[in-house]
Amino acid sequence: MKRRTLLALPGLIALESRGARAADRIKVGMLKPNIVTVIYWIAVRTGAFEKNGLEIAENPFPSGQTAAGIEQLMRGGLDFYLGASGEVAHADSRYVEAGKPPPIALIEGGIAGGSFLVLQNAVQGQTLDQLRGQKLRIGISNPSSYHLILLRAFLRDHGMTTDDFKWQFLTVGGPEMLPAMVSHQLDGFLHDALTTTLALRSKVGFVFMSSDRGDMGEQAKLLPGTGVCGNRAFMDKNPDVARRFAQALRDASAAYDAAPKEQMVAVMAEWSRQDPAVIDDVYDRFNPRVGMTRQAVQVWWDLLGSAMLARGEISPKLTLNDIFDLRFIRSE
Amino acid sequence: MDTIQPVSDIGLRPNFQRHVRARDRRIRLRRILRGGAGILAILLVWQVMSQALDLDLLLPPPLTVLRNGVTTLSLSDSHWLYGPNIYVHLWHSFLRAMAGFGAAAIIAIPLGLVLGRVGVLREFVLPAIKGVYPIPGIAWIPLAILWFGLGDAAVVFVVFATTFFPLFFTTEAGARQINPTVLDAGRCFGARGITLFFRVVLPATVPFIITGLRISLGGAWRMIVAGEMLASQDGIGYVLMESRFQFRAVDLMTAMILIAIVGYVTEKAIVDTIEKRTLEKWEVKPS
């Protein structure tokens, strides 16, 4: 019954908005299946796009393939992309270094970080100092992983770098992290709430650090765990469409807040292709809502921007306005 | 009765040899000039296209790539984001490539020789090998990670799986197609068993083995990149992947050119040396 109500919701909203105007068709890319981009699916399922006069051409990319999505966005093959933030800075930096205008911009982001360093139960050590000399193989979804940048930012604040540790960062797709840990190919991973929950449920690891707990610094709690970015040329030409796209995601966030847990668990399980029981566990550990504020933008820039700058990943010429298009960010 | 004087005695031979040497030099020079002109033309088109179409961030011009290559190789890149220096990456890739390629050579060459000469065994074994052959090297990666875990062993296995087949098939074909007259001639001189194998079969198959080694070594470098992109945290494949995530096309192209250079040098150093040692030793003329 509940499922039926949920499925009927977009139809009702679409009927309501029909006749108002023809929907603008936009090309949207996203990581799929991936829990951090679930807000997109909530927007689809709650009819938020239709309500905002948008028709979506969906372009999924597998976990870890963020660079492919960003490349498409830069070329204009996509109008918007969900699931990246550090990569936007990297890509824009190359253009700024070459004296060209940045081609893409972040326009929205998740509310909370949701970054976890999970270690195998067998790993000995309660503090970072105790882990320092240990040769650990840590899985990351890609070399420019947001979680890795966040860890680097935290270490930098404490006068350390990842080079001070004897850790190996191995690139492993999100869905493969748990099997790799079970088969002792990884000693841990840096990833999101879903992978963390799966590891905890199968009792192979424990949470060593959690950004939401403040283990990666107090400011990390404010960091957007995921980014929504757009092609600047498209957004300059269609600012209203960009505004409506960001609004649709915020509407979906509001719908998420208002909906009963079990309904949202069903939607999230469908998108992430996970057992609803797993999503039920993730629910309290993960906040899929977007609604990035200018304060969060500043935190992103201060924390992640400076970590990337210190490592030489981005140019000193790059500014906050090169990465973010503040026209679409909430003022508070 | 008049006796025929040897050519060298009447002074023709040194002149002839000089002439041949000069002709060879001319041919070599012409080949180098033509090859160089071809490469230069490509570089020129690349440079002009890149600048005219403003593609420097997607297709960095050769001069930029060259500059970047020099900076990378002189270890003076202040924006080096790829862990250890480029020589360490290249060395690790080289070791993995050689381990996979070496293992393939150790198994494929003897197996190819045996199956090429023993028909009964060939009928038993060849269908199985031919059945596995169409599986592309890259398809072995997930299985390799499952079997060997993330790391060197998986990459080495994938290189092995890629390089084994060309080496095996060329060796087997070479051993199978030895002219029976050559074998009979060997037998006439009393060669049997191991002696026949080492004096006749192996030398006659060497040109085929050399071709197989050349094809396999190229394959090893192609596969090492794919393997390291997925299951490694160092090596030239890792540099390629990381530079993609940093959107540094110039680093990507530099790494690609380094792979080409190292691949070429490796082939020259290994295959050409083997070729020289074996073909010259046995005075075999490549067909």
Q: Pick the closest to residue A209 from A195, A227, A189 (CA basis).
A: A189
Q: What is the CA radius of gyration of chain B?
A: 24
Tokens standing for residue B154: 């998986």
Q: Pick the closest to residue A78 from A97, A54, A104, A52 (CA basis).
A: A104
Domain limit, last residue, from A202, A219, A236: A219
The secondary structure element, H or E, covering residue B275 is: helix B273-282
Angstrom distance (rounded) from CA A85 to CA A314? 13
- In chain B, which residues have pLDDT < 70? 1-13, 231, 284-287
A64-122 pLDDT per residue, tens: 788 899 999 999 999 999 988 889 999 999 999 999 999 999 999 987 768 999 999 99
Mean pLDDT for chain A?
Answer: 88
Yes or no, beta carbons of B247 and A94 under 8 Å apart: yes
Give the nearest chain A residue to B83 (CA atoms).
A163
| Residue in A168, A169, A311 closest to B81 by CB | A311
Domain limit, last residue, from A219, A241, A258: A219
Residue A139 CA: distances (Å) to CA of A75, A179, B55, B139, B150? 30, 11, 35, 22, 10
Same domain (yes/no): A179, A40:
no
Angstrom distance (rounded) from CA A228 to CA A38? 12
Identify any residues that bridge with A139 across adjacent strands, giving them in sequence order: A170, A189
Kindly tell me if the per-residue pLDDT of A331 is higher than 80. no
Same domain (yes/no): A229, A294:
yes
Tokens standing for residue A25: 């068709």
Same domain (yes/no): A206, A124:
yes
Same domain (yes/no): A6, A105:
yes
Same domain (yes/no): A134, A281:
no
- Domains in chain A: how many in total? 2
Report whether A290 contacts A109 (CB < 8 A).
Answer: yes
Backbone angles phi, psi at B150, to 5 degrees: -75, 130
Q: How far from the centroid of its chain's Cα atoms is residue B273's Cα?
A: 12
Identify any residues that bridge with A31 across adjacent strands, giving them in sequence order: A61
- Min distance A57 CA to chain B CA atoms (Å): 25
Same domain (yes/no): A230, A197:
no
B200-248 pLDDT per residue, tens: 899 999 999 999 999 999 999 999 988 888 767 789 999 998 898 889 9
Identify any residues that bridge with B195 across adjacent strands, giving them in sequence order: none
Partners of residue A173 in chain B, C-beta under 8 Å: none
User: Which structural domain range is residue A104 located in?
Assistant: 2-112+223-328
Give the CATH number of the domain where residue A50 resides: 3.40.190.10
Angstrom distance (rounded) from CA A31 to CA A65? 8
Yes or no, beta carbons of B246 and A313 under 8 Å apart: yes
Sign of the torsion formed by the C-alpha atoms of A287, A288, A293 and A295 = positive
The secondary structure element, H or E, covering residue B52 is: helix B12-52
Same domain (yes/no): A128, A35:
no
Same domain (yes/no): A142, A269:
no
pTM above 0.95, yes or no: no
Tally helices (H) and strands (E) across chain B. 12, 0
Establish if A98 touches chain B: CB-CB under 8 angstroms: yes
**Mean pLDDT of the region A18-38:** 84
Same domain (yes/no): A126, A197:
yes
Same domain (yes/no): A239, A105:
yes
Domain limit, last residue, from A219, A249, A275: A219
Angstrom distance (rounded) from CA B122 to CA B172? 9
Establish if A136 touches chain B: CB-CB under 8 angstroms: no
| Residue in B81, B231, B232 closest to A313 by CB | B81
Backbone angles phi, psi at A145, to 5 degrees: -55, 135
Same domain (yes/no): A133, A198:
yes
Angstrom distance (rounded) from CA B199 to CA A224? 72
8-state DSSP, A313: S
Reported ipTM: 0.77
Same domain (yes/no): A179, A323:
no
Report whether B84 contacts B235 (CB < 8 A).
Answer: no
Kindly tell me if the per-residue pLDDT of A15 is higher than 80. no
